[in-house]
Structure 1
């Protein structure tokens, strides 16, 4: 049985208005997919009116708390002592949110307890993944 870690976080949407709107989000990590983190925003907080889930590397999240990282759809950088900025780039536009760094650190500590950083490949079932690919081909 795979370990699944979920943690609710409070994100503040950066907008043109002086007060940033607070939106709930959920971080999710699955031992069966040890390199990835998912961040889901609920339907009421998205332009499409449906849940939106972004998948990105756990390593990107961890590194982005120390320095600006990312060149693609997801970019992460520190912002002061207690905030981390996450940018989500899509054809429809860019969403920028601030998340408390302490919440992200707690999440990463929990994921590291489940799958130690640098040992992710030990948790992959390559034979099963290959069998799944061949079955679908």
Structure 2
């Protein structure tokens, strides 16, 4: 496309990393310990932190698990420091580091992100 002059100049620039995400799915939960109703509807709930560029999303599944995500939006300078293709940023060690950084953040329905992390098998968490 570049040779035929069809490629926009912005597509020639290195990819920018503007968001990092930590995701997980808890083991099946007993409803009494978590304030989700077990019904046929799936409700996505989110928490936007007032003092940090972080958004947390969670929803209950039919298997009585909670799927959760923590999005951290990076500023221009921080995003430049994240190379999208560094494999060390995507392994289990990177997920562990991010889990420690976000565990005290409020999640949904009175839970903390750490409550969700603690209820999630390690192999069900990735960054």
TM-score norm. by structure 1 comes to 0.30
Asked which structure has the greater CA Rg, the reply is: 2
Greater share of residues in strand: 1
TM-score norm. by structure 2 comes to 0.31
